[in-house]
A and B are shown apart, each in its own frame.
Chain A
């Protein structure tokens, strides 16, 4: 039973390019969460999704960032026109519909570096 799969593990983009981060939730999990971690800081909530539905995007910057979780396939976090300040580790987590008593299951993260 594979855990939460994130790819790529590392992503380098030039300023102005687009970054696409993928997350496949754990089998049986229907809820996906994206978090951003800046160096030496905690994880900051970005967005919470169910299949084909955004539940809460209160942590997502209003511009350049978008997320989706289609009926088929992984969840995608998309960052358009990346800037140096977007450099961070982006973590995806998943949970069963009812949340589960074990918190979330996290992926290994994607480290985005903007050069």
Chain B
């Protein structure tokens, strides 16, 4: 079974600064997808960014980018130019070939004005 670990329960960043959220996973599969989801107080799960394991190039979506290290099984999220609206819970998730999505325990991001 796959496991996803987020070692930072809470992180804090100053507005306009950059923050990196960590995620590691354990798998014996070679083909899989990785995701970062944002969950604001509204509880809605919002897809932030995705990465296909077979792609070496790190995914980027505007101010969000990932550092995908396949050999190390690491998938960190970098948020640049942090905004107050970025404050939320962030969940790293792994999806295997069988469509099963496994979540990490989450990191609460606080943004200081």
Binding site for B on A (CB under 8 A): 31, 33, 35, 41-45, 48, 56, 89, 91, 93, 95, 99, 101-104, 106, 108-109, 111
Contact = CB atoms under 8 A, between A and B. Distances in A.
B104 A101 contact: no
Contact of B50 (A44, A45, A101, A106): A101
Contact of A42 (B42, B98, B105): B105
Interface of B: 33, 35, 37, 42-45, 47, 50, 52, 91, 93, 95, 98-106
22 contacts: A31-B99, A35-B103, A42-B103, A42-B106, A43-B91, A43-B103, A45-B100, A45-B101, A56-B98, A89-B43, A91-B45, A93-B101, A95-B99, A101-B50, A103-B35, A106-B44, A106-B45, A108-B42, A108-B44, A109-B43, A109-B44, A111-B43
Contact of A99 (B37, B43, B95, B102): B95
A5 B105 CA distance: 25
A43 B37 CA distance: 11
Contacts of B45: 43, 91, 93, 106
A55 to B, nearest CB: 8
B17 to A, nearest CB: 25
Contact of A103 (B44, B93, B104, B105): B93
A103 B43 contact: no
Nearest to B9: A40
Contacts of A101: 33, 50, 52
Contacts of A111: 43
A72 to B, nearest CB: 23
A3 to B, nearest CB: 10
B100 A102 contact: no
Nearest to A91: B45
Given A42-B91, A108-B43, A109-B43, A103 B102 contact: no
A16 B99 CA distance: 34
B43 to A, nearest CB: 5
